[in-house]
Amino acid sequence: MMFAPIVKSVVENSEFSWLGRFVFPGIFDGEHIFSISVDQSSSVLVQKEKFKGVLVSLLWSSVDRDMRAGFERMNAALKARAESENS
């Protein structure tokens, strides 16, 4: 699925989010949020996605499966990169 996301928030060292829409607002909108918490010994990245729109219930099973797989690959790559830069 191709979309041109709109950045909703940027909070340095804390949060980044965007909103992607399919075709028109209200059809299939997804807000993706990255939250980061850091302490002296570790960092935690939490991702979440909020969906709204008339097609969400019809497309949910395939979106959930494909999105989850993509996020798992992205998380693994990000973890590997962060750990290699800190070694």
Residue 63 lies in a domain: yes
How far is CA 60 from each of CA 32, 56, 64, 80, 82, rounded to the nearest angstrom? 15, 5, 6, 30, 31
Find the domain containing 79 and state its range.
Answer: 6-85
Sign of CA dihedral 76, 82, 86, 87: positive
Would the pLDDT of 26 be above 70? Answer: yes
Whether 71 is covered by a domain: the verdict is yes
| Range with top average pLDDT, 30-34, 65-69, 75-79 | 30-34
Is the model more confident about 10 or about 59?
Answer: 10
Domain count, the chain: 1
Residue 66 confidence (pLDDT): 81
Dist CA 25 CA 55 (whole Å): 11
Q: How confident is the model at residue 1 (pLDDT cuts 50, 70, 90)?
A: low
- The per-residue pLDDT for range 50-63, each reduced to its tens digit, is 999 998 888 888 77
Residue 1 lies in a domain: no
pTM for the predicted model, two decimal places: 0.74
